[in-house]
Structure 1
Amino acid sequence: MGRRTPIEGEAAAGSSTAAEPSIFRNGNFRRLFAANSVSLYGSQVSYLAVPLTAVTALDASAAQVGLLGVLSTVSFLLIGLPAGVWVDRMRRRPIMFTADFGRALLLGSIPVAWLFDALTLTQLYLVVFVSGTLTVFSDISAQSFLPSIVPRERLLQANGYIGSVRESSGVAGPSLSGLLLQLMAAPAAVLVDALGFLLSGILISRIERVDESHTGAAEKKALYRGIWEGVRFVFSHPLLRPIAMAGAITNFSLQMVTIMLPLLFEHTLHFSAWKLGLYLAVGGVGSLIGAYTGPRLAERVGQGSVLWLAGLVTAPFACLVPLVDGGAVYWVSAVCWLVVTYRMGMNSVVLVSFRQRVTPNDLLGRMNATMRFALTGATALGAGASGLVGEFFGVRASLYVGAVGLAVAWLPYVFSPLRRMKTLP
């Protein structure tokens, strides 16, 4: 399934000064950027195609679609914390391309099985679960690997470019996915994501070996002690702790909304796939605008203050998202969705760079693992809650519960030092 985990500066994203050479002159960053781009756009297809495969080809219920969402992210809860220790003990580049090749093989099995009329829900469950496990190692490694190929003073710029692709894939990806799903069956469309991971793995395998001074730093420590160091670092940090809490609430609530949208559009509203893709693309536009304008807004309002102020302003719009229906109401809900996702796009560029800057090299893997455990673990729980609420109280009830969560997700910032901070350290 798609692996969007939405939560996750002093200068505008992607900006550089005249005195600095382009960051794309760094060949290693250029290959990492390209690999990230193709895998992100490919994942947008699976984000729609896998649940639609379950709904259209296998007649899955709300609970079964919710279970797919759980299995795609539950590995962050099961092995996310020890994975951070293992990543800090190993070289990260081989982990990344091995994970990409593995996911290409797994996702490629879906259209093959469908072609031979052998596709089952059990296979979908296995594919999303094992792919999610590989994603754990890939994502933790990627965020921890970037400071090895980019100077820390240029991390905001590098993350700005990567974040821009992530948000632009959220704009173009769903629309292209919806169009693709109009032209071919959902199981066949999954092949696009498989090919994206294959190309990503090839590009990462061509990154030159770099000095990863972290390697072996955690080898002499017991596994539980290494895990505890990462957890303690995040949750004892006065700024990382509220960031983790707010991100977990956001991801839990966001998953409750998005996991039910294919069912709502397909079974309740009887909309075509392109209309679902268009709706999600509107949210992508909000994230993209937030990624580009958020840093400038943060300069004016304050990098800490803007986090809760934006949440306060967007809260009423979040509560209107579940009203989505036909006619003009569709567009009212879509505009509200754009406003909500603007806040998430704004947060992502500022906060990811901040996390990397304040963390020592030998703790990067464990810090990222702890964050991913909290953020993506919340996504898995949100998928499960969405399936249960949708099964027993209706699909739209799940949307309302998620919308309320999105409306209050900013509260941890209010009760932290971030509330009055003009500049993040």
Structure 2
Amino acid sequence: MGGAFWRFWSVELATETGIGLAVIALQTMVVLDLGGGATEVGWLSSARWLPYMVLGLLVGAIVEGLRRRTVMIVSDLVRALVLGGLAVVWLAGGGALWVLLLAVVLLGTASLVNDAASQAFVPRLVGRERLLPAHQRLDAGSNAAQSAGPAVSGAVIAWLGAPISLLLAAGAHLVSSIVLWTLPRDEASRKRSHGLGRSILHGLRFVHRHPRLGPFARWTHVWFLCNGAAMTLLVPLVLIELDAGPAGLGLALGVLGATTLAGTALAGLVADRLGNARTIILERAVMPFAWGAVALAGLLPLPALGGLALALAGLAVLGVVMGLSNPNEMTLRQRATPDRMQARMNATMRTVNRAMIVVAAPLAGLLGDAIGFGVALAVVCAGFAVAAVGIAASPLARGRTAR
């Protein structure tokens, strides 16, 4: 893949490690430090993804005219500053929900900018013919980091407290920005041929009128609505319903990351047999059953260890099929998109996807607090089933991209 790719891979590894360290720390701070429940966790998740909904399309159009490497460096420095600053505020006794939510909004904005640049940087780095193996390797590193990050964070929180985990996350983003300086400098900014408004509209039309990207995008939006709700409910289910504590939550997210890594390793082999589209459809079909096992952990009268084991089994299956699907999703998207549209295509997809999380997370939290986490998660499983049937019946499954 070349030395530049592997340096970029190490950047993504450092970034995902930072995210893994930060996410469980933030969730633990809400539930254990501030005494919150599923509703507060939902607001936390909503705040994290709110910038994607509000600014995503605009950022995609702006980043398209900038040096992508420079954008990644600056956004990583901002994330390091926000995480370090929040840790200092918490250690100084200034912890409050509004402080946490404000920091998460700033963190989400910087992540939005970074994502728009980094995803558009990959096709330039490796070429279109190597997109699938490139995304396999990137996802493998990401999943390894997301597996190790929560596990390490859970241990650090139990031993030293959540703010220390945030400081470690800030350090990971700082390392990422340093390594980015060693990457080849990409092309100079080019003048935009039309205004931002027309650029945004063109990106929306390109994605939703495209014969392959259109049906994929629409049913993926439904998937994100359900997954945002499910991930919100998972946190209080493990921390409160199963009484597993930060270490248990770290273990759950670690299992999810580790099994996603295993699925990623098989993504190319499965795609050779099924094609990109059918591999994605396979993942959608398994999702309701995997999350259903997690829901049963909160519904059945099992002993604490039995409930946690059942939840971990569901998350393990979930991780494998997500690992199979993710590289194929990115390959399908980027092969269908010319270089001049990469940033806008990624921004369009991510904006609506993250908007689904912004809507779903607080509603799922309210529902979970009202009727129980297991019951609410069972309702979400029905939504996953609808998404699976929808994409399986769409033109994506019948077209040549399914081969």
Structure-1-length-normalised TM-score:
0.88
Matched, 1:122 2:98: yes
Match of 2:149 in 1: 173
Report the residue type matching 1:347 in the other structure. S
Between the aligned partners of 1:243 and 1:62, the Cα distance in structure 2 is 30
Matched, 1:288 2:261: yes
Between the aligned partners of 2:46 and 2:389, the Cα distance in structure 1 is 26
CA contact (8 A) 1:58 1:120 kept: yes
Going from structure 1 to structure 2, the CA distance change for 1:389 and 1:126 (only over 3 Å counts) comes to same
* Counterpart mapping for 1:22-421 below 5 A: 23=1, 25-27=2-4, 29-211=5-187, 215-216=189-190, 219-325=192-298, 326-421=304-399
Greater displacement, 100-109 / 320-329: 320-329
Greater displacement, 224-233 / 354-363: 354-363
Report the residue type matching 2:83 in the other structure. L
Greater displacement, 65-74 / 391-400: 391-400
List alignment gaps of at least 5 residues for structure 2.
Answer: 299-303
Between the aligned partners of 2:52 and 2:287, the Cα distance in structure 1 is 29
CA contact (8 A) 1:318 1:407 kept: no
Task: Report SS of the residue matched to 2:251.
Answer: helix
Deviation track 1:162-216 (CA, whole Å, cap 9, x = no partner) reads 011112223323222222222221122111111111111111133231336xx42
Greater displacement, 376-385 / 127-136: 376-385
Between the aligned partners of 1:336 and 1:123, the Cα distance in structure 2 is 34
Greater displacement, 258-267 / 198-207: 258-267
CA contact (8 A) 1:248 1:379 kept: no
Greater displacement, 97-106 / 184-193: 184-193
CA contact (8 A) 2:280 2:329 kept: no
Between the aligned partners of 1:424 and 1:71, the Cα distance in structure 2 is 36
Task: Report SS of the residue matched to 1:282.
Answer: helix
Between the aligned partners of 1:424 and 1:266, the Cα distance in structure 2 is 40
Deviation track 1:209-265 (CA, whole Å, cap 9, x = no partner) reads 1336xx425x23122211111011100112112222232222222221222333223
Between the aligned partners of 1:154 and 1:290, the Cα distance in structure 2 is 19
Between the aligned partners of 2:379 and 2:12, the Cα distance in structure 1 is 32
Between the aligned partners of 1:57 and 1:376, the Cα distance in structure 2 is 27
Task: Report SS of the residue matched to 2:113.
Answer: helix
Match of 1:11 in 2: none
CA contact (8 A) 1:305 1:422 kept: no
Match of 2:301 in 1: none
Going from structure 1 to structure 2, the CA distance change for 1:408 and 1:343 (only over 3 Å counts) comes to farther
Between the aligned partners of 2:141 and 2:361, the Cα distance in structure 1 is 25
Between the aligned partners of 2:41 and 2:385, the Cα distance in structure 1 is 25
Q: Aligned-pair distance for 1:316?
A: 2.9
CA contact (8 A) 1:167 1:284 kept: yes
Report the residue type matching 2:75 in the other structure. A
Report the residue type matching 1:73 in the other structure. W
Between the aligned partners of 1:272 and 1:391, the Cα distance in structure 2 is 18
CA contact (8 A) 2:56 2:347 kept: yes
Structure in which a larger fraction of residues adopt helix: 2
CA contact (8 A) 2:276 2:332 kept: no
Structure-2-length-normalised TM-score:
0.92
What is the identity percentage for the equivalent residue pairs of Structure 1 and Structure 2? 30
Going from structure 1 to structure 2, the CA distance change for 1:118 and 1:311 (only over 3 Å counts) comes to closer
Greater displacement, 32-41 / 258-267: 258-267
Between the aligned partners of 1:359 and 1:36, the Cα distance in structure 2 is 22
CA contact (8 A) 1:321 1:403 kept: no
Report the residue type matching 1:344 in the other structure. M
CA contact (8 A) 1:181 1:273 kept: yes
Q: Aligned-pair distance for 1:422?
A: 6.2
Going from structure 1 to structure 2, the CA distance change for 1:235 and 1:273 (only over 3 Å counts) comes to same
Q: Aligned-pair distance for 1:424?
A: 5.5
Q: Aligned-pair distance for 1:305?
A: 2.6
CA RMSD in angstroms comes to 2.0
Q: Aligned-pair distance for 1:314?
A: 4.8
Deviation track 1:290-320 (CA, whole Å, cap 9, x = no partner) reads 2111321232234323332443345333322
Between the aligned partners of 1:294 and 1:407, the Cα distance in structure 2 is 22
Q: Aligned-pair distance for 1:368?
A: 0.6
